[in-house]
Structure 1
Amino acid sequence: MCKLIKYWLIVIALQFCVSSYAQSPEIKIDLKQEIGTMKPVWAWFGYDEPNYTYMKDGKKLLSEIAALSPVPVYVRTHSLLVTGDGSAALKWGSTNAYTEDNKGNPIYNWRIIDSIFDTYVSRGMKPLAQIGFMPEALSTHPVPYRHYWKPGDPYTDIITGWAYPPKDYNKWRNLVYEWVKHSVERYGQKEVESWYWEVWNEPNGHYWKGTREEFFKMYDYAADGLKKALPTAKIGGINIAGTRGKGAQEWTNDFIKHCISGINYATGKKGSPMDAILFHAKGWPKLVDGTVRMDMAPQLNDIETGFKLTMLYPETKDLPIIIGESDPEGCAACGMATNPENAYRNGIMYSSYTAASFARKYILADQTKANFLGAVSWSFEFENQPWFYGFRDLATNGVDKPVLNVFRMFGMMSGTRLNVVSNRMYPVEDILKSSVRGTQSDIGALASKDSKSAAIMVWNYHDDDKPGPTEIVNLFIENIPSKKASLTIYLIDKENSNSYEVWKKMGSPQNPTQQQIEVLEKSGKLKNISAKKIKIRDNKTVVALKMERQAVALVKLEW
């Protein structure tokens, strides 16, 4: 009897050891297991307020974004045709590109649009140029036109005269024609051919106050004006909201069918130009018992649905797909003071969510075979606003937030994407169902290699903004074609690459001194925590990473 008890105690102990070992984070990367191109799908950004572009902190941030990317970054912004004096405000922008004289004759003024596009092009960036919204003189319902929304107000307060169809479609077409013709004259045909153009934003939501057919008509006239000015220009649509929903899918299918075989409202011919497919994808954080709980599932379901819809049609299955807005939730200008579920935005939770979600975007593209070109992170900066107010932005008052450092890491990844094997990385199918809600965090990686280097991004993510154990992640790298290499480790956590924690330790000043600002700016940069030469034995090496909950690391190996 005693021997039997002893036997079962040994069995239980062995099972416990095996179980514990299985949960110890291990990631394996074989540099010969290539799975595709490391497309820079992350190098796309956007924002509501176009006039921030050429302001002090806007220019500074755009310079940083351009510098971190080895390829041209695409930028999308709303309100490029809205009437007004160019004053910046939350959820508002204007360029006064189109007005009319007292006889109804068009007056074109490209000064503000030029200052926006000049800011991009001078930095090697490219517009994802949004044709919208409706100028006051063309709107079928122009009054009221200018809104004065602020955080806490009903979101629909922003919907005014700019959201309505044109009262004259020929004038609308000619506005687009003149804009594109002017762009070619200013920047050159080759440059403008490299841009993407798209019409409007979320026509199935609040942003469009017309019918579905009126939207298609507006699209046709805009596309006709664009192609008359530059036949090789690239245009797409429709930047639908809530892509996974039944209504959004109906809109998308109807739009695709209209572009393939519908009667073009502007030309009377069959079909309408469609050079890219665009849709939106958003997550849904909530406050649960006073704690922020993220939800990646809606965002990834939007993406999977959009990819699959595009693959349904022979005419669209090879078209480039741009996720026109791809974010943890839907309102960048809603701060955490009015929306406490947005408290994730200042710290490292936003960083780890970004790393973990982008990795799954690649996986979904692989699974559906979609031609995934880019995902626009709808996050920029908000000029002259409180420090760390909780906007969804990349920087606050010119100081970089931790999330921008994830994009700095992406900027160091190029070449070929590699297969990743991790015993703690949630399968994408599980995240599509219920995000990351298990007892253990999601510890995974995204890996790439070039001719003489490899880069591996590792994260320790969980939906719940609660403390979790710091874990040692063992990263096994195989088939390194050298006997020696340089190993550099970059880290984003509470102590590294984190201006927010430094600001809090200062006492959260809303009027920091110049010396404090300099400290904050330095702390906002991506920190290298280790750089050394290593010997490679049997073409292998092991890197041990100390990863706290919500941390993100980049391991760079060069030989």
Structure 2
Amino acid sequence: MTSSFAVSIAVHVDRRAGPYRPLWNWFGYDEPNYTYSEHGKKLLKELTALSPEPPRIRTHNLLTSGDGLPALKWGSTNAYTEDADGRPVYDWTVMDKIFDAYVEAGNIPLVQIGFTPEALSDAEGDYRHHWRPNDKYATITTGWAAPPNDLKKWGDLIEAWANHLAERYGRDTVETWPWEVWNEPDGHYWTGTIPQFCEMYDASARAVKRALPKARVGGPHVCGGFASAKAQTFLREFLQHVVDNNSPIDFIAFHAKGNPVVWKDHVRMGVHKQLKDIDTHLGIINEFPSLTHLAIVIGESDPEGCAACSARYHPQNGYRNGPLYGVYVVESMLRTYELASRANLTIEGAVTWAFLFDDQPWFDGFRDLATNGVDKAVLNAFRMLGMLGGDWLETTSTHRRDLADVVANSVRGEPDVNVVATRDDTGISILVYHYHDDDDEAGPAAEVTIAVNGWTGKAPALRHYRMDEAHSNAFGVWKAMGSPQSPTGAEYSKLEAAGQLAQIEAVGAVTVENGRILLRTTLPRQGVSLLRLEA
């Protein structure tokens, strides 16, 4: 194996390729009661700081009954109960703590309508599940997943909730928040039929519109389009229902998941599965020409399907703590733009289903953005995505894998050394990444030469940021400390610093010759660089 290989990249400053809009700054999680913890509020503010465009935040269980305490894949607000005569009782105490945290942090909620309160569930057996990471996933399906037994009470609840949010945060503000109905009704989150779901969707959407006529509502958040005939059938029947019944809908939502496995004693990612899910759902939407003008939200877009399934019990999830998760996010998000363009559809957002899990061991293998208040490497990949802005620029790379090849075969054999660039009013941002599905070893580094063509004006300054095994990676620092479970004050401070985005190079003025700038860097496998040029 050679120690490195050459990659030639070109960025054309004078060739704009359309406006850049961030679709990656959407995040979500199952457990709403982590939202207002100390670490939760800290992370929400960090998400706002990623980009000038506020992040959208989606969470399950906003209408679920319970004690308001967090647990894995569980949460509750107890917003709806009934008195002894069956009359509705609304209590927004916990709900307010959740939405106060979003508003204070500068987030935009993607308000999820779900799940069924206990008083509206006719399911036999337990209402609450008691799932643990080593349990079968299907055990999460208990009474909360049943269809509401009274759609009049259900609609009144949603209307009252929407009005309460408008009174608390201002009607003009809340009408800008997107609303969506339910989660993965084709899977473990709905025990009713497709027609029952469609009826519930209509009742929900119309309730929102009664309270907030300008608000946008969407669904149905099906999952697994490529491999699941059930998901494909569900999406088609739902969209046909919308067309036939003129149901209120402002965006279409689905989910997409990859497929990591353990292969030859190491983790092998499966980005092709996630991209095939997206491509399949986009194809179904294009079967309904009257709906193709609608925006699309990928309500969960992730390497696999269970954030709370720790790598301790699921070794295929061992990618989560270090830089592989971050470079995978960059690969999948940037390819998502390409899929949308190819389908001639608009993807407004792609939700990364990751937040945090309080009161868990350090770096315990959950799919999260931070552990015990310390940012993971993946958050630095988002920080670099957040430095893109303005207009796309034309770029080339001698080691860019073709989109059709990646969708069909993932990234095995040759790595994908790819580039995107944007231009704004003050400079250009060049994002370069070196991705491979296999996490068995570092692999040969890429010796990257970047030719920036068409530069005009004075010589720009350069700032170069990096996330890889040795940079912006608190997990590597924690392992070097001996993997402490109770870091001291000095150790904690060192971990916090390691969780931030590292700048590895700064040049006051780079050389420009005949409008051309040459930049060189060594980019290891599973590494991402952001190079910022400003005059």
Q: How does 1:66-465 map to 2 (within 5 A)?
A: 66-141=48-123, 143-244=125-226, 245-262=228-245, 271-438=246-413, 440-465=414-439
* 2:469 is the counterpart of 1:486: no
2: CA distance, partners of 1:149 / 1:251: 26
For residues 19-60 of structure 1, the C-alpha deviation after alignment (integer angstroms, 9 at most, x for no partner) is x9x962111110122222211101100000000000011111
1: CA distance, partners of 2:9 / 2:224: 34
2: CA distance, partners of 1:360 / 1:419: 15
Assess if the C-alpha contact under 8 Å between 1:495 and 1:501 holds in 2: yes
1: CA distance, partners of 2:188 / 2:144: 11
For residues 392-431 of structure 1, the C-alpha deviation after alignment (integer angstroms, 9 at most, x for no partner) is 0111000000000011111111001122211111111001
Structure 2, unaligned runs of 5 or more: none
Q: CA deviation at 1:530?
A: 0.6
Q: CA deviation at 1:482?
A: 1.9
Of 33, 49, 67, the residue aligned with 1:51 is 33
Assess if the C-alpha contact under 8 Å between 2:45 and 2:106 holds in 1: no
Q: CA deviation at 1:382?
A: 0.4
Assess if the C-alpha contact under 8 Å between 1:332 and 1:393 holds in 2: yes
* Residue type at the aligned position of 1:543: L
For residues 336-390 of structure 1, the C-alpha deviation after alignment (integer angstroms, 9 at most, x for no partner) is 1100000000011111111111111111111112111010000111011000001
Identify the range of structure 1 (94-103 vs 109-118) with the bigger mean alpha-carbon deviation.
109-118
Following TM superposition, the consecutive aligned residue runs of length 4 or more in structure 1 with deviations greater than 6 angstroms are none
Identify the range of structure 1 (129-138 vs 543-552) with the bigger mean alpha-carbon deviation.
543-552
Partner residue in 2 for 1:503: 478
> Secondary structure of 2:471's partner?
coil
Of 428, 440, 446, the residue aligned with 1:471 is 446
1: CA distance, partners of 2:339 / 2:415: 21
Q: What is the RMSD of the two structures over their aligned residues, measured on CA atoms?
A: 1.3
Aligned residues with identical type, % of pairs? 47
2: CA distance, partners of 1:193 / 1:482: 44
> Secondary structure of 1:534's partner?
coil
2: CA distance, partners of 1:202 / 1:459: 32
Assess if the C-alpha contact under 8 Å between 1:136 and 1:142 holds in 2: no
Assess if the C-alpha contact under 8 Å between 1:23 and 1:424 holds in 2: no
2: CA distance, partners of 1:246 / 1:37: 36
For residues 62-101 of structure 1, the C-alpha deviation after alignment (integer angstroms, 9 at most, x for no partner) is 1111112211110000000000110001000000000000
> Secondary structure of 2:477's partner?
helix
2: CA distance, partners of 1:205 / 1:537: 58
Q: CA deviation at 1:257?
A: 1.3
2: CA distance, partners of 1:417 / 1:362: 11
* Residue type at the aligned position of 1:363: E
2: CA distance, partners of 1:66 / 1:25: 34
For residues 461-482 of structure 1, the C-alpha deviation after alignment (integer angstroms, 9 at most, x for no partner) is 1101122012211111111122
Partner residue in 2 for 1:14: none
2: CA distance, partners of 1:212 / 1:115: 34
> Secondary structure of 2:316's partner?
helix
Assess if the C-alpha contact under 8 Å between 1:458 and 1:554 holds in 2: yes
2: CA distance, partners of 1:514 / 1:156: 41
* Residue type at the aligned position of 1:555: L
Q: CA deviation at 1:187?
A: 1.2
> Secondary structure of 1:481's partner?
coil
* Residue type at the aligned position of 2:521: L
For residues 482-539 of structure 1, the C-alpha deviation after alignment (integer angstroms, 9 at most, x for no partner) is 2310111001112111100000000001111111111000011000011112132211
Assess if the C-alpha contact under 8 Å between 2:5 and 2:447 holds in 1: no
> Secondary structure of 1:408's partner?
helix
Give me the TM-score of the superposition, normalised by structure 2.
0.97
For residues 311-356 of structure 1, the C-alpha deviation after alignment (integer angstroms, 9 at most, x for no partner) is 3323211111110000000000011110000000001111111111
Of 509, 515, 521, the residue aligned with 1:539 is 515
> Secondary structure of 2:255's partner?
strand
Partner residue in 1 for 2:14: 32
> Secondary structure of 1:344's partner?
coil
2: CA distance, partners of 1:380 / 1:143: 31
Q: CA deviation at 1:434?
A: 0.9
Assess if the C-alpha contact under 8 Å between 2:419 and 2:430 holds in 1: yes
2: CA distance, partners of 1:369 / 1:377: 23
2: CA distance, partners of 1:78 / 1:142: 22
Give me the TM-score of the superposition, normalised by structure 1.
0.93
For residues 179-209 of structure 1, the C-alpha deviation after alignment (integer angstroms, 9 at most, x for no partner) is 0111111111211111111111000111100
Q: CA deviation at 1:306?
A: 2.1
2: CA distance, partners of 1:523 / 1:490: 13
> Secondary structure of 2:49's partner?
helix
* Residue type at the aligned position of 1:45: F
Of 513, 521, 524, the residue aligned with 2:488 is 513
> Secondary structure of 1:198's partner?
strand
Assess if the C-alpha contact under 8 Å between 1:424 and 1:442 holds in 2: yes
Partner residue in 1 for 2:527: 551
For residues 110-138 of structure 1, the C-alpha deviation after alignment (integer angstroms, 9 at most, x for no partner) is 11111111111122211111100000000
2: CA distance, partners of 1:120 / 1:541: 43
* Residue type at the aligned position of 2:520: A
> Secondary structure of 1:308's partner?
helix
> Secondary structure of 2:356's partner?
coil
1: CA distance, partners of 2:337 / 2:394: 11
Assess if the C-alpha contact under 8 Å between 2:5 and 2:445 holds in 1: no
